[in-house]
């Protein structure tokens, strides 16, 4: 039973345009949400996070939106750059502990 789903395994975007990555979760006990970027043969790199008491958090080109009623999380990257090409994972934290549950990842390809 997947508690965190990233339904798009891949996404292709033109350089300079917006990339929107989506994540759905099932458990209302999740209280903290994170996005990580991963290059091959490297560990995930933390990008941005949001608490369940907020609905938006922005950091430079990256914005995370949280829709609690829909149990939906999204990451917007504007403008997209070729260096953003990587696999992006959403991760959620349960309010009962600090372990993270990850989605399956979305491979983003930004074309020059």
Partner 1 sequence: KAGVTQTPRYLIKTRGQQVTLSCSPISGHRSVSWYQQTPGQGLQFLFEYFSETQRNKGNFPGRFSGRQFSNSRSEMNVSTLELGDSALYLCASRPSSLYEQFFGPGTRLTVL
Q: What is the closest distance, in whole angstroms, from the C-beta atom of residue 17 to partner 1 in the complex?
A: 28
Cβ distance to partner 1 smaller for residue 32 or 62: 32
Binding status of residue 62 toward partner 1 by CB under 8 A: no
Q: Which 11-50 residues touch partner 1, going by CB under 8 A? A: 32, 34, 36, 41-46, 49
Binding status of residue 99 toward partner 1 by CB under 8 A: yes
Which among 4, 17, 1, 9 is positioned nearest to 91, based on CA atoms? 4
Which among 84, 102, 83 is positioned nearest to 92, based on CA atoms? 102
Half-sphere exposure of 27 (CA within 13 A, CB side): 19
Cβ distance to partner 1 smaller for residue 53 or 99: 99
Which residues have a Cβ under 8 Å from the Cβ of 43 and sit 6 or more positions away?
none
Residues that bind partner 1 (CB under 8 A): 32, 34, 36, 41-46, 49, 89, 91, 93, 97-105
């Amino acid at each position: 039973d997947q508690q965190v789903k990233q339904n798009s395994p891949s996404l292709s975007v033109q350089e300079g345009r917006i990339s929107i990555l989506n994540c759905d979760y099932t458990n209302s006990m999740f209280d903290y949400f994170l996005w990580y970027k991963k290059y091959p043969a490297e560990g995930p790199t933390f990008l941005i996070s949001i608490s369940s008491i907020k609905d938006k958090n922005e950091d430079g080109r990256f914005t995370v939106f949280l829709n609690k009623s829909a149990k939906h999380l999204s990451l917007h990257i504007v403008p997209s750059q070729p260096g953003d090409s990587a696999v992006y994972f959403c991760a959620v934290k349960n309010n009962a502990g600090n372990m993270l549950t990850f989605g399956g990842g979305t491979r983003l390809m930004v074309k020059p």
